[in-house]
Every structure is written in C-alpha cells, then in structure tokens.
A and B are shown apart, each in its own frame.
Chain A
Amino acid sequence: MNKVRRQYHHHYHFSYQTTIKRHLASIATVTIAIIILFFILIHFASPKNTFDINQISANDIFIASVNTVVRLLVAYIFSLLFSIPLALFITSTPKIEKILLPVFDVVQSVPVLAFFPVIVVFFTAYRAFEFAAIFILFMSMLWNLVFTVVGGLKSIPEDVESAASVFKVRGTKKLWNITLPAIFPYMTTGSLLAWGQGWSIIIVAEVLHTYIPHGTVSQDLLGLGSLLVDSFAQGKNSVFLATLAMMIIIISLLNFFVWQKLLHITERFKFD
C-alpha cells in the first residue's frame, strides 16, 4: 500500500498529504456537480416558466428565487471559466497585451444591453429563452472578472515570478501552485462586482417579452427580476414588495455567508 501511495505521489506531485482517497472524493464531487449542472441545463433548455402575475403564491416567489440564483450561478461559472484563460492569454506576452487590452477595454465599455435585442432574437428563434438570459448575464459578468484577473496577474511580484522560474515551477504546476492562488483575491473582488452587475441586469434579462416582436408577459422567464418588473407594471404591490424583500434577503445572505467569508480568506493570499 505504501509503495502504491508513494508512486502515486511521485507521479502527480500534489501536496504530499494528498491521498488517493481524497482524489477519488474530489472526482466524485466534480462528477456529481456536473450531473446537477446537466439537469439544470436540461430544465432550462425546455422551461415551464409561464406564469400569471395575478396568481403568484409564496411558493412561486421561492421558485423564482431559485431560478434567478441558478441563472446567475450558471452565468458566473461560465464567466469565471472563460475569464481566467482569457486573462492569461492577454498577459501572456507584452505584445498581445498591448494589442488586446485596449480592444477589450472598448468592447467592455459598450453597454451589454445594446446587444440584448439581437441576442434575444437569436435565442428565441430556437426557443432557448433561458440561454438568452444566461448569455446576457454572462456578458455582463465577464468583463469585471477579466479585468480584475488581469490586474491580479500583473500584481504578482517580479521576485515571485523569478523564484518560480528558478525553482522550475512551470506550466500547469505554476498555474495551480502560484498563479491561481496569487490571483484569488482579485478573482474574489471581480466575482463580487460581477454578481452585483448580474443582479442589476437580471431585471432586464428575465423580461424577454419587451425584446420579442409582439411579445407578451407569458414569454418572460419566471424569476425575481421578471416578478419585480411585471408586478410593478400591473400594480401588484404586495407581489412587488414580497419579491423585493426576497431579493434583499438573498443578496444579504450571499454577502454574509459567501462574500464576507471569501474576502476574509483572501487576506491569506495577499503579497506584502
């Protein structure tokens, strides 16, 4: 057993407390997460989101909350997965950085909502309403993450980069052992900003009917954003206030249990 364990460690070069058991647990966790994500995507690909604002119950508001948070989460995961390789590519050489940074600076300054009608028309042609909403959230979240991650990459001290090179910490080993931990504080700040942006855009992203020619409220996606807009438009003050209260509660809980904890943890990852 010891021999097997030693060979395993020697081959993979993970932290030496790591065991096969822990790796299997990680693989199982990732697999379960992928399966859950797959079911969420299936559900979102063929949604049953039609709702009648006159018959909204507390349960509907709860389901709307789950829908909204899942939309934001899926968009956030994609933004994060996309932003890190993009930021690494931007900063890979001074030449690429010199060309791409100003280009992306211009692109990110174009309001994301300007693209929305085109995006909605494209996705509604395939009846993929959820993807329209997630795509617009993804676009609104992406740039906050890209620019903060670029900032993080550029803030890694030169001596640390030199030490990595001298001690042969290269490629994926460098990514896992140095780059990702070093940009973690910046990723957290970027994520916080991205979610803030997402909450602002959700009010538009879920109210699809305004962008669909001859659209009706039945084409909106059930979520906190659409409930806020539709209930306000139809004078349903109690639904509006309940939805608003739910949104405030969720944002506060996320702030308390996720962002504050993460911001506290980031202190451990900051260079002097």
Chain B
Amino acid sequence: MNKPIVFTKISKAYEKTPKTPVVIDFTLSINQGEFFCLVGPSGCGKSTILKMIAGLEKPTSGVLIKPEKVGMVFQSGALLPWLTVENNIALAAKMQEFALEKVKRVTKEYLEMVNLDQFKTKYPRELSGGQRQRVGIARALAVESEVLLLDEPFSALDFLTTEELHNDLLQIWQNTKKTIIMVSHLLEEAVTLADRIGVMEEGKLKAVVEVSLSRPRNGDQHNFLPEVEKIRRLLT
C-alpha cells in the first residue's frame, strides 16, 4: 500500500508554440514517510513536479509511480469563503466517500491537530494568514492519504508565524508518519524541515542533498548555515 513515489525520466512540455519544456529527464525516488523538499528559482519546474504527483498535470514522457490519493496545501490556502473552517475540512473528507461518522471524526481530529477547534465556526475571512494555512493543512490531512503535498504554503506569512507553522508541521509529520513533499524557494526553510532536498534548475534535478543535521533544527545550530550555503552554491 505505502510505496515510494518514483519518477523515471519524466519530462513535461506545454502545448505552446514553440513547445516549452518545464521539466526535463527528472528521475527521483521519494521514500515512504520521508520529508522531501524541492527548491529552486521561480519557473524551474518544482511546482509542476508537485502538480504531477497530485494528478493536476500529466507528464509528456517518462514513468511516474504515485499514489492515487494525496492531500495538498496551496500557497493561497484555496479555502472556500462561504464555508466555515469546519465545513471546509469536512467537504474534503466527504468527497472521499467516507461514511458520515468518519467525516465527523476526521474533521474533529484534524481541527484539534492544528489547534483550531475553537475557530471551527469561523469563516476564512475571519482568520489570520497563518490560521488559514492551518485550515489548509487540516483539510489536506482529512482526506487520509499517505502523502501530503505543500506548494510554498508559508511564502506569504511573517517570520514568527512561519516558524510556528514549521514546528506544527514537523509535529504532524512525526505523529502521522506521512510522506511530505514540499516546494519552497527558501533554502533555510528546506534545511529546517527536510530529510532530503532536491535542487532544481531550468527543469532539471541538479542534485539531491541529504540533510544530516539533528532535529530540532534552527539557524543557530552548528552547521546549519554551511548546509544552506552548500545548497546555495549548487544554484549559482
């Protein structure tokens, strides 16, 4: 049931004139339960990789082995403004054909996991940016998939909120043992969170770096900045 996600010589080009390649010969295996982060400059194809895992994009060539069901957190939150926090989460669960009791159970469970149970009757517009992303995380968890995808979820948040959400995300990862694949343009964020970091440039996977720092990680930690610099050098 819990297989790795395997990309074998995956390429993706959009049907434009001339054809624009966004991903070229991408080969990678992401292990079950791993926290993997993709980094790279804007337009390097990292979000396209995430969309392929989510089934939102199809590869032009190559073989991709991926789970049928995933949970995904979007940069904008992508919450429905007419639904309460609780119903935003419940909708995702309901669409998985879960029985009513299970819908109720997972909604409650993940609301509590992201510490938003007291906000369950609020609407997204009544929440802060960080709280909205927590709802997004709870909604992604509510589909009960083995894989959680995050597309630059913290890029619009302030430093303190981001740090808080990093800790929460790591806590969730440790509790649920899910495979997490996150796209980020912040190298410090990737080093703080990931087991391995995939460095992308111009549609190609340039390198995969294993982060050997012990957890919990932070900028003051010995070897943290050299690790960041190591990845930065790969991009320049």
Write the residues of chain A forming the contact surface with B, with a CB cutoff of 8 angstroms: 6, 9-10, 13, 15-16, 157, 159-160, 162-163, 165-169, 173, 177-178, 181, 184, 268-272
CA distance A15 to B103 in the complex (A): 11
Confirm or deny: B217 has a beta carbon within 8 angstroms of a beta carbon on chain A. no
Other-chain residue from B76, B82, B101 in contact with A268 (beta carbon distance below 8 A): B82
CA distance A198 to B82 in the complex (A): 30
CB-CB under 8 A for A159 and B76, given A6-B101, A165-B56, A177-B91 = yes
Other-chain residue from B54, B77, B94, B104 in contact with A166 (beta carbon distance below 8 A): B54
Q: Are B78 and A269 in contact (CB under 8 A)?
A: no
Q: Are A168 and B96 in contact (CB under 8 A)?
A: yes
Other-chain residue from A10, A181, A184, A272 in contact with B99 (beta carbon distance below 8 A): A10
Confirm or deny: B123 has a beta carbon within 8 angstroms of a beta carbon on chain A. yes
User: Given A9-B100, A159-B74, A181-B82, 20 other A-B contacts at CB below 8 A?
Assistant: A10-B99, A10-B100, A13-B94, A16-B90, A157-B78, A162-B51, A162-B54, A162-B56, A163-B78, A165-B56, A166-B54, A166-B71, A167-B139, A169-B91, A169-B95, A178-B80, A184-B82, A269-B81, A272-B124, A272-B125
Other-chain residue from A6, A162, A181, A270 in contact with B74 (beta carbon distance below 8 A): A162
Enumerate B61-119 residues with CB–CB distance to A below 8 Å: 70-72, 74-78, 80-82, 87, 90-92, 94-97, 99-101, 103-104
CA distance A162 to B136 in the complex (A): 13
Which one of A159, A169, A268 has the greatest number of beta carbons of chain B within 10 Å? Answer: A159
Residues of A within 8 A of B74 (CB): 159, 162-163
Other-chain residue from B56, B76, B124, B143 in contact with A157 (beta carbon distance below 8 A): B76
A-B contacts at CB below 8 angstroms, number: 69
List, sorted by A's number, 18 A–B pairs whose CB atoms are closer than 8 Å: A6-B99, A9-B100, A15-B87, A16-B90, A16-B100, A16-B104, A157-B76, A162-B51, A162-B72, A162-B78, A165-B56, A166-B71, A167-B92, A167-B96, A167-B139, A178-B80, A270-B81, A271-B81
A-contact bits for B45-63, CB 8 A (1 contact / 0 none): 0000001001110000000
Residues of B within 8 A of A159 (CB): 74-78
CB-CB under 8 A for A6 and B96, given A162-B51, A167-B91, A178-B80 = no
Residues of B within 8 A of A177 (CB): 80, 91
CA distance A160 to B94 in the complex (A): 17
Which one of B75, B80, B143 has the greatest number of beta carbons of chain A within 10 Å? Answer: B80
Write the residues of chain B forming the contact surface with A, with a CB cutoff of 8 angstroms: 51, 54-56, 70-72, 74-78, 80-82, 87, 90-92, 94-97, 99-101, 103-104, 123-125, 139, 143
CA distance A167 to B136 in the complex (A): 12
CB-CB under 8 A for A16 and B91, given A159-B74, A268-B82 = no
Residues of B within 8 A of A167 (CB): 91-92, 95-96, 139, 143
Q: Are B100 and A166 in contact (CB under 8 A)?
A: no
Residues of B within 8 A of A168 (CB): 95-96
Residues of A within 8 A of B72 (CB): 162-163, 166
Residue in chain B with minimal CB distance to A14: B94
Residue in chain B with minimal CB distance to A10: B99
CA distance A179 to B5 in the complex (A): 32
Q: Are A268 and B95 in contact (CB under 8 A)?
A: no
Residues of A within 8 A of B101 (CB): 6
Q: How far is the CB of A173 from chain B (nearest CB, A)?
A: 7
Q: Are B81 and A268 in contact (CB under 8 A)?
A: yes
Residues of B within 8 A of A178 (CB): 80
Q: Are A166 and B81 in contact (CB under 8 A)?
A: no
CA distance A234 to B91 in the complex (A): 62
CA distance A263 to B19 in the complex (A): 45
Residue in chain B with minimal CB distance to A268: B82
Residues of B within 8 A of A9 (CB): 100
Cβ-closest 6 pairs across A and B: A159-B78, A163-B78, A159-B74, A167-B92, A9-B100, A159-B76
CA distance A39 to B133 in the complex (A): 52
CA distance A269 to B82 in the complex (A): 5
CA distance A163 to B56 in the complex (A): 9
CA distance A162 to B51 in the complex (A): 9
CA distance A178 to B70 in the complex (A): 20
CA distance A268 to B103 in the complex (A): 24
Other-chain residue from A166, A270, A271 in contact with B55 (beta carbon distance below 8 A): A166
Residue in chain B with minimal CB distance to A167: B92
Residue in chain A with minimal CB distance to B71: A166
CA distance A169 to B96 in the complex (A): 9
Q: How far is the CB of A15 from chain B (nearest CB, A)?
A: 7
Residues of A within 8 A of B97 (CB): 13
Residues of A within 8 A of B54 (CB): 162, 165-166
Q: Are B103 and A16 in contact (CB under 8 A)?
A: yes
